[in-house]
Amino acid sequence: MARHVTQLSLDEEQYQALAELAEDQRRTVPDLVGELIGLGLEHLQQRGSRKREALAQLGSLRRDLRARIGVVTGEPVAEARQVREQQRNEILDPARVR
């Protein structure tokens, strides 16, 4: 595999942490940075895969619901609020409802 040389700007704390870790592992800073970038990229790719899988499952659930109950018409949230308001009024002022 071809290797590419690039230049990074790190703050002092980042560089010192990398240098200490590299020394503890008897490695070079560039070798360690390469591994860390590889791990970060792998993590981002896996996270992207999980998001795509979740969206695919959500789409499947929506299709299943649509097949079972059809398309919901109206305003279910507004209707639920209206029912809740009516129930609240019955509890707070039963004479007003009658």
| Residue with the larger pLDDT of the pair 93 and 61 | 61
Q: Which residues contact 25 (CB under 8 A, 6 or more apart)?
A: 32
When pLDDT is averaged across residues 46-51 and rounded to a whole number, the result is 92
Residue 88 lies in a domain: no
Tell me the two tokens of residue 30: 């560039």
Residue 86 lies in a domain: no
Q: How far apart are CA 68 and CA 65, in angstroms?
A: 5
Q: What is the pLDDT of residues 27-40, one digit of tens each?
A: 999 999 999 999 99
Q: Looking at the 3D structure of the chain, how many domains does it have?
A: 1
Domain range holding 27? 12-73
Residue 56 lies in a domain: yes
Q: What is the pLDDT of residues 61-82, one digit of tens each?
A: 888 988 888 877 778 888 899 9
pTM metric for this prediction:
0.54
Residue 2 lies in a domain: no
